[in-house]
């Protein structure tokens, strides 16, 4: 195993130092380290962060390998500074059995670019009718701890209660896609001024807020852990603030796109901006940014959702919802939060690793810690070119936008997955 000596790097924004990586761990830190056998990387001006952890990734395999595979998604993740991603269950077949989650887990190991932690479905076939074999998935080689019907809400309150209770046996968490389905029938975009103008059926904020309110009360009642996927409205932030103040064990994520883009983007009718939950108003964006800084929202998660060209190059109403996120998330966090490295490390690595129970991840580089880390050039600016992305799909809403920051290198257990901004394999 090659050793790496990273010179003059700012660890999570601290004073420049050296990092020696050997045998999969951070062996030493300090100024002026010597290691004649090590490959030296000059990291002057770069910031080292604990490898990013994405709690919400769609890798599309099995089923839609034309849009993404575990391998291509893993490569996109590594290029985005990630060392672990949690793969959502809405594949085909659905990841609702030990067999499917083990398959995804094994494909992740074979790709070897990030740790792929499968998420299991809450209900059989995501149908919202009966529980999937949650315990079997938890006991499998994939050791599933997060369960989600993402893409669909677990709308039945009794089923949601049972799911929350059941996973306590193995310290599981239910990640809820909060969307009251009766309030979003045919919905195409945020319900408001822009949807009225564009004649697109509205997705009202209350459809999200009502489910979050219900579920924090359920979680409180049964004493379970609840995670809220892709929070998108100012009203949801207030419900979460209230729940956290009461001591409910709830965590929440926000996506990069909900931190940056608004529903005005729909005016082009270009479905690259169609996503679920939809892009909201500038007031929602402001509330989400404040909540992320404050900690009412715990983490940034990408909801990386690759789609084939034909599923986006069509009429808005017929397009599939979702956008790419892995390769641009850190840049957007940097744009939104500024160079607050400790906050970025907390929201994009430490906290998601804690929620997911990923022991070797989310740890700041220090002697003895697994060398899962990424090096960021905060001074770089780059123009997003869809054709240059490692994802198999091209549905980025940031095409030709100039974003700050660039991932220079990523290490997974001491092995580089990205060097010089390029994937190693």
Partner 1 sequence: MIRHLLSGADLDAATATEILDTAAEMATVAGREVKKLPALRGRTVVNLFYEDSTRTRISFEAAAKRLSADVINFSAKGSSVAKGESLKDTALTLQAMGADAVVVRHPASGAPHRLANWVDGSVVNAGDGTHEHPTQALLDAYTMRSRLGRLDGLHVAIVGDVLHSRVARSNVLLLSTLGAKVTLVGPPTLIPVDISPALAPGTDVSYDLDAVLPGVDVVMMLRVQRERMNDSYFPSAREYARRYGLDGPRMRRLPGHAIVMHPGPMNRGMEITPEVADSPRSTIVEQVANGVSVRMAVLYLLLGGNNR
Site string for partner 1, 204-243 (x = CB under 8 A): ----------------------------------------
Q: Which of 130, 196, 223, 294: binder of partner 1 (CB under 8 A)?
A: 196
Which one, 30 or 269, has the nearer CB to partner 1? 269
Does the footprint of partner 1 cover residue 264 (CB under 8 A)?
no
Q: Does 59 carry a binding-site annotation?
A: yes
Does the footprint of partner 1 cover residue 340 (CB under 8 A)?
no
Region of 160 on the Ramachandran plot (φ > 0 left; ψ -120 to 50 alpha; else beta): alpha
Q: Which of 110, 318, 385, 402: binder of partner 1 (CB under 8 A)?
A: 318
3-state secondary structure labels for all residues of the chain: CCCEEEEEEEECCCCEEEEEEECCEEEEEECCCCCCCCEEEECCCCEEEECEEEEEECCCCCCCCCCCCHHHHHHHHHHCCEEEEEECCCCCCCCCCHHHHHHHHHHHHHHCCCEEEECECCEHHHCCCCECCHHHHHHCCCCCCEECCCCCCCCCHHHHHHHHHHHHHHCCEEEECCCCHHHCCCCCEECCHHHHHHCCCEECHHHHHHHHHHHHHHHHHHCCCEEECCCCCHHHHHHHHHHHHCCCCEEEEECHHHHHCCHHHHHHCCHHHCCCCCCCCHHHHHHHHHHHHHCCCCEECCCECCCCHHHCCCCHHHCCCCECCCCCHHHHHHHHHCCCHHHHHHHHHHHHHHHHCCCCCCCCCCCCCECCEEEEEEEEEEECCHHHCCCCCCCCCCCCCEEEEEEEEEEECCEEEEECCEECC
Q: Which of 282, 290, 317, 383: binder of partner 1 (CB under 8 A)?
A: 317
Using the contact rule CB under 8 A, the part of the chain among 67-75, 206-214, 255-263, 268-276 near partner 1 is: 268-276
For the bound state, the minimum distance from the C-beta of residue 189 to partner 1, rounded and expressed in Å, comes to 10
Q: Does 322 carry a binding-site annotation?
A: yes
Catalytic residue among 18, 298, 303, 377: 303
Q: Considering only residues 21-80, where is the footprint of partner 1 by CB under 8 A?
A: none
Q: Does 177 carry a binding-site annotation?
A: yes
Which one, 199 or 368, has the nearer CB to partner 1? 199
171 is catalytic: no
Site string for partner 1, 296-315 (x = CB under 8 A): --------------x--xxx
For the bound state, the minimum distance from the C-beta of residue 183 to partner 1, rounded and expressed in Å, comes to 12
Does the footprint of partner 1 cover residue 202 (CB under 8 A)?
yes
For the bound state, the minimum distance from the C-beta of residue 235 to partner 1, rounded and expressed in Å, comes to 15
Q: Does 8 carry a binding-site annotation?
A: no
For the bound state, the minimum distance from the C-beta of residue 393 to partner 1, rounded and expressed in Å, comes to 17
Q: Considering only residues 165-194, where is the footprint of partner 1 by CB under 8 A?
A: 188, 191-194
Does the footprint of partner 1 cover residue 198 (CB under 8 A)?
yes
Binding site listing for Zn(2+): 56, 58, 150, 177, 230, 303
Catalytic residues: 303
Binding site listing: 56, 58-60, 90, 150, 177, 230, 276, 303, 307, 321-322
| Residues binding partner 1 (CB under 8 A) | 188, 191-202, 268-270, 310, 313-318
């Amino acid at each position: 195993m090659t050793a790496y000596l990273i010179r003059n790097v700012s660890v999570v924004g601290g004073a420049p130092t050296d990092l020696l990586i050997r045998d999969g761990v951070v062996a030493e830190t300090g100024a002026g380290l010597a290691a004649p056998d090590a490959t030296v990387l000059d990291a002057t001006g770069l910031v080292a962060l604990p490898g990013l952890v994405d709690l919400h990734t769609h890798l599309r395999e099995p089923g839609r390998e034309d849009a993404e595979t575990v391998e291509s998604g893993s490569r996109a993740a590594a290029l985005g500074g990630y060392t672990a991603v949690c793969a959502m269950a809405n594949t085909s077949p659905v990841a609702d059995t030990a067999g499917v989650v083990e398959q995804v887990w094994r494909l992740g190991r074979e790709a070897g670019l990030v740790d792929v932690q499968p998420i299991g479905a809450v209900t059989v076939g995501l149908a919202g009718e009966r529980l999937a074999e949650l315990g079997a998935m938890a006991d499998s080689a994939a050791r599933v701890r997060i369960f989600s019907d993402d893409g669909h809400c677990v709308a039945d309150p009794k089923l949601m209660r049972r799911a929350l209770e059941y996973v306590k046996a193995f310290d599981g968490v239910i990640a809820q896609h909060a969307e009251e389905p009766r309030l979003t029938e045919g919905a195409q975009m945020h319900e408001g001024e822009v949807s009225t103008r564009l004649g697109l059926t509205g997705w009202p904020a209350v459809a999200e807020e009502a489910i979050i309110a219900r579920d924090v009360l359920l979680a409180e009642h049964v004493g379970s852990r609840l995670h809220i996927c892709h929070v998108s409205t100012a009203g949801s932030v207030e419900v979460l603030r209230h729940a956290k103040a009461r001591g409910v064990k709830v965590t929440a994520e926000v996506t990069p796109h909900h931190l940056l883009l608004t529903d005005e983007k729909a005016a082009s009718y270009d479905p690259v901006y169609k996503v679920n939950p939809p892009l909201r108003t500038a007031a929602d964006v402001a509330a989400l940014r404040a909540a992320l800084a404050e900690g009412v929202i715990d983490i940034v998660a990408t909801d990386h959702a690759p789609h084939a060209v034909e599923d986006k190059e069509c009429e808005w109403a017929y397009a599939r919802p979702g956008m790419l996120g892995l390769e641009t998330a850190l840049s957007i966090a940097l744009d939104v939060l500024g160079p607050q490295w400790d906050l970025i490390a907390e929201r994009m690595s430490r906290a998601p690793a804690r929620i997911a129970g990923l022991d070797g991840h989310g740890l700041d580089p220090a002697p003895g810690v697994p060398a899962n880390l990424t090096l960021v050039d905060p001074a770089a600016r780059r123009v997003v070119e869809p054709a240059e992305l490692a994802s198999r799909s091209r549905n980025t809403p940031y095409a030709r936008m100039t974003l700050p920051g660039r991932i220079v290198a990523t290490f997974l257990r001491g092995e580089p997955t990205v060097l010089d901004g390029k994937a190693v394999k």
